[in-house]
Amino acid sequence: MATLRDIKRRIKAVQSTSKITKAMKMVAAAKFRKAQQRMFELRPYAERMNAILAGLAGSLEGEVHPLLAVRPRKNVEVFVITSDRGLCSAFNTNILKAATQHIAELRAEGFEVTISAVGRKAKDYFKRRNVELRNSWTGISGKISYANAQEIAADIIESYTNETVDEVIVVYNEFKSVVAQKITITRLLPLAPIAAADDVLPVFNFIYEPTKEEIFSRLVPKNVEIQIFRALLESQASEEAARMSAMENATKSANEMILKLSLQYNKARQATITKELMDIVGGVEALKG
């Protein structure tokens, strides 16, 4: 049975843990607000830019830009976005599980699959399973900049234009709310033409100035950068939201444990006092006899 000293030591340890998790929640909340604001500011621009370019691609004749070229799928690249750090509940576990399942499905269909990843969690995950990554980026979690998206986009664009890969799939956590993130698996390249819809620019015969080749040579790579930047920001906001919720739950669990340990301590202390009183009474009765 645990002694009073042992219980008291455990209470102090749990109290220290509670203080740490509470502080981590406050830090995550501050980071989350900044990440959420950046993500909300970029999301409408990224969605509209992608929709307009996809709509315009439907009016083009011939191959205007290599990134618009749709080739027979043989080699598929899966680009996975995770975090560098843990303590964010099932944030990384869920995304890695979904990515692994999608990779297995692609290979079952006969495609050659290469993998690139953002985040130390993804890098370590695939390394433990002896899966070679084509490329990886770590150390950017929590401090994502547009330069990071440009670097990643340049690598992916080079692989696609060199025909090393025929399709690029992005797997990331899309932010929905503080308590909900949606695992998103979407095609990044090629930017295929889509049918005209209410929220997409209708298909017209546009007059391009200076030329449609020059316009698309600038806009299409820029769109790839924007879509990657959006995925990174969505993932960052989701990560901080998950960490904030995880630390809140950890703090609640610690406080509940402190209450249980305090009750256990009081019961043990009361039992000790009662035993000592009984020993005293027994001693007095023995002296009387």
- pLDDT digit string, tens, across residues 178-224: 888 899 999 998 876 544 444 444 555 666 677 777 777 888 899 99
In angstroms, the CA 20 to CA 198 distance is 50
Instruction: Give me the tens of pLDDT residue by residue for the chain, a chain 289 residues long.
Output: 578 888 888 899 999 999 999 999 999 999 999 999 999 999 999 988 888 787 777 666 656 678 887 788 899 999 999 999 888 888 999 999 999 999 999 999 999 999 999 999 999 999 999 999 999 999 998 889 999 999 999 999 999 999 899 999 999 999 988 888 899 999 998 876 544 444 444 555 666 677 777 777 888 899 999 999 999 999 999 999 999 999 999 999 999 999 998 898 888 888 778 877 777 777 767 777 5
Catalytic-residue membership of 88? yes
- Residue 208 carries which side chain, given as an amino acid letter? Y
What is the β-pairing status of strands 180-189 and 135-137? unpaired
Which residue, among 188, 189, 184, 187, has the nearest Cα to 172 in the 3D structure?
184
Buried b / exposed e over 169-202, threshold 16 CB at 10 Å, is: bbbbbbbeebeebeebeeebbbbebeeeeeebbe
Average pLDDT of every residue of the chain? 86
What pLDDT score does 60 carry? Answer: 61
* Active-site option among 39, 88, 171, 233: 88
In angstroms, the CA 49 to CA 208 distance is 17
What pLDDT score does 1 carry? Answer: 58
* 3-state SS class at 117: strand
CATH numbers and ranges of domains, the chain: 23-245 (3.40.1380.10)
Query: Rg (Cα) of the chain, in Å, rounded?
Result: 29
Q: What is the pTM of this model?
A: 0.84
